[in-house]
Amino acid sequence: MSHGPALAPDAPGAPDAPAVRRPSAVGASRRTGWVMVLTGTVGWLASFQLTVDDWRLLRDPAYQPPCNISPVVSCGSVMSSSQGSLFGFPNMLLGLGAFAAVTALGVAVLSGARLHRRLWLALTAGALAGWCSSTG
């Protein structure tokens, strides 16, 4: 069944070609997936340990967390300060959720998922915000 003569795209009277949409999903390599899984898992474990240390510090103010390396590098004083609870709850709880999300996304990338570009941008913005809040 014919639908009429085919016109070349630049021929006079030819219909405009439909706009080509860029794919909104972006693939990543398996290496990226493994890095996300490994760093997400290590970050989650560190956040969990800091959460346990924070609870111990709340029970016993004399408790010395193992992350107190020196008088200059000390996490116990930060945990008990206002900087340790940015949104009214311990910052380590943010880390538990954020690192679990990174690990889950890493597993998705390893399984071949192509994540939406906005998700990659949100992941990058979250990593930047976490880095800025921990170094600031």
Would you state the pLDDT for residue 45?
96
Residue carrying structure tokens 């999300």: 101
Please tell me the distance from the alpha carbon of residue 40 to that of residue 122, in angstroms, as a whole number: 16
Element (H, E) at 26: strand 25-26
What's the pTM? Answer: 0.74
Would you state the pLDDT for residue 84?
80
What is residue 132's three-state secondary structure? helix
Are 78 and 84 in contact by the 8 Å Cβ rule? The answer is yes
Asked if the model's pLDDT at residue 115 lies above 70, the reply is yes
Alpha-carbon dihedral sign for residues 93, 97, 102, 104: positive
pLDDT tens digits along 20-57: 665 666 778 899 999 999 999 999 999 999 999 989 98
Asked if the model's pLDDT at residue 9 lies above 60, the reply is no
Q: What percent of the chain has pLDDT over 70?
A: 81
Please tell me the distance from the alpha carbon of residue 36 to that of residue 126, in angstroms, as a whole number: 14
Asked if the model's pLDDT at residue 1 lies above 60, the reply is no
The residue type of 132 is C
